[in-house]
Chain A
């Protein structure tokens, strides 16, 4: 079973920041938080991952609360191509990603 809770859907205006929340209250100390997304009819795509500190790459930023019980994925300037299902995943193995358990995710719709 997925260890995360995400809203089923969200909307965002093009050009604005999209903030996708995720709750993972049972995360253990050595588990990472991963974010993937799946654009319609394509395979999932890795976005970012983190353990404790906030992370940023060319795609997004990941903000993890100090107690690590929740996190937020931020797409700073959403475009129409960012419309996708976004999955927040906590690794099911000791710091590893070999058994990622995908939940239902959040369906993000970016509107013009």
Chain B
């Protein structure tokens, strides 16, 4: 398996523009997670899905952020409108199971810069 695939790897945009980050989890994994990493705040869990259903979105910063998982092989994280403080590396991760210590597999991340 190719692992968790994220796109784009790098995105530079201007404030106010819409940003869409994409993730393809590992086939067969039924959990999908979106994390954000900044120097100030470290790695933060934004939202996670189980069987395509959002389970916990308490980490989503505000209404400008939205995430969807239309099917088991694809998820998007959208920021509209984007702001400079959204600049960060966004990681997607997937897991087969999370009980009894299921391992999370992370993608390479999408580095977002909002000017």
Which chain A residues have a beta carbon within 8 Å of chain B's beta carbons?
32, 34, 36, 41-46, 49, 51, 87, 91, 93, 95-105
In the bound assembly, the distance between CA atoms of A74 and B53 in angstroms comes to 38
B residues bordering A, Cβ < 8 Å?
4, 31, 33, 35, 42-45, 48, 50, 55-56, 91, 93, 95, 98-109
Residue of A49, A95, A99 most packed against chain B (CB within 10 A)? A99
Are A100 and B104 CB-contacts (below 8 A) given A43-B91, A44-B43, A44-B91?
yes
Cross-interface CB contact of A34 among B50, B101, B108, cutoff 8 Å: B101
The reply to whether A99 and B106 contact each other, CB–CB distance below 8 Å, is no
**Given the complex of chains A and B, what is the CA–CA distance between A46 and B4 in angstroms?**
14
A96-B99, A98-B48 known; A45 vs B106 contact (CB < 8 Å)? yes
CB B30 to nearest CB in A, in angstroms, measures 11
